[in-house]
């Protein structure tokens, strides 16, 4: 009897938590904010001007992914220069990308021996 009451009480207490967690999973592909106004982008050349080892800065760059190096590493071009990019595991697009697909990448530029942008988000233009 004591175990039954404990089981019922636990279920009543945890049920709202499971409901909220379930809703969150159902909405994981929705975007919280959709903005369509001007965005300040940078050129790859301006990023590559500073390749010191500890350089880190947020970067938004327009261009194309021109080739794949391995599973999550690609070469990105803005039409003038190229840079290595690394895609986070949680980036998922509904349509495939080709070398001709123009995209906007949002990420963090890191200088060093192999400067790269760690991409957090991709927007197809």
**What's the fold here for domain 44-124?**
OB fold (Dihydrolipoamide Acetyltransferase, E2P) (2.40.50)
Average pLDDT over residues 14-28: 50
Nearest to 105 by CA among 58, 62, 75, 74: 62
Whether 27 has a pLDDT exceeding 50, the answer reads: no
Of 11 and 63, the structure prediction assigns the larger pLDDT to: 63
> Quick one: DSSP state of residue 41?
-
pLDDT in tens, 37-77: 778 889 999 988 877 777 788 999 999 999 999 989 999 99
Predicted confidence at residue 119, as pLDDT, reads 94
pTM over 0.95: no
């Amino acid at each position: 009897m004591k175990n039954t009451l404990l089981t019922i009480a636990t279920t009543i207490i945890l049920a709202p938590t499971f409901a909220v967690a379930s809703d969150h999973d159902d909405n994981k592909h929705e975007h919280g904010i959709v903005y369509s106004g001007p965005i300040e982008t940078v050129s790859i050349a301006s990023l590559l001007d500073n390749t010191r080892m500890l350089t880190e800065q947020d970067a938004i760059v327009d261009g194309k992914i021109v080739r794949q190096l391995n599973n999550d590493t690609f070469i990105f071009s803005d039409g003038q220069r190229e840079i290595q990019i690394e895609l986070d595991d949680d980036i998922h697009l509904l349509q495939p990308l080709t070398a001709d697909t123009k995209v906007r990448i949002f990420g963090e530029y890191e200088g060093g021996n192999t400067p790269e942008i760690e991409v957090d988000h991709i927007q197809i233009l």
